[in-house]
Amino acid sequence: MAFTLYSLLQASLLIVNAVAVLHEERFLRHVGWGTDQGIGGFGEEPGIKAQLMNLIRSVRTVMRVPLIALNSITIILLLLFG
């Protein structure tokens, strides 16, 4: 398989899908990344862990509908062109 722009886009779509399906109560809390574990004090800068949790929550919220469309397009292209 050659390294093309399409394969790069497909790999990034798979990564976004993986982030979107992470469940906070089932998986992330057991790893130590739950909502109650990243609470900082007032005026403190959020750490890397809190920023990654915000990114995961944002991806799950914002990318839900576009991921359905992008996955459908990817599946159709794979069926048509192999």
Q: Is residue 77 in a domain?
A: yes
Q: Is residue 35 in a domain?
A: no
pLDDT of 11? 92
Question: Taking a C-beta distance cutoff of 8 angstroms, is the pair 74, 13 a contact?
Answer: yes
Q: How far apart are CA 78 and CA 18, in angstroms?
A: 19
Residue span of the structural domain in which 74 resides: 2-29+47-81
pLDDT of 76? 95
Q: Is residue 52 in a domain?
A: yes
Q: What is the pLDDT along the chain (82 residues), one digit of tens a residue?
A: 578 898 899 999 999 999 888 877 777 777 777 666 555 666 678 778 878 888 888 888 898 899 999 999 999 999 998 7
Structural domain total, the chain:
1
Q: Show Cβ contacts of residue 54 under 8 Å, excluding neighbours closer than 6 positions.
A: 46
pLDDT of 36? 61
Q: Is residue 42 in a domain?
A: no
Q: How far apart are CA 22 and CA 59, in angstroms?
A: 10
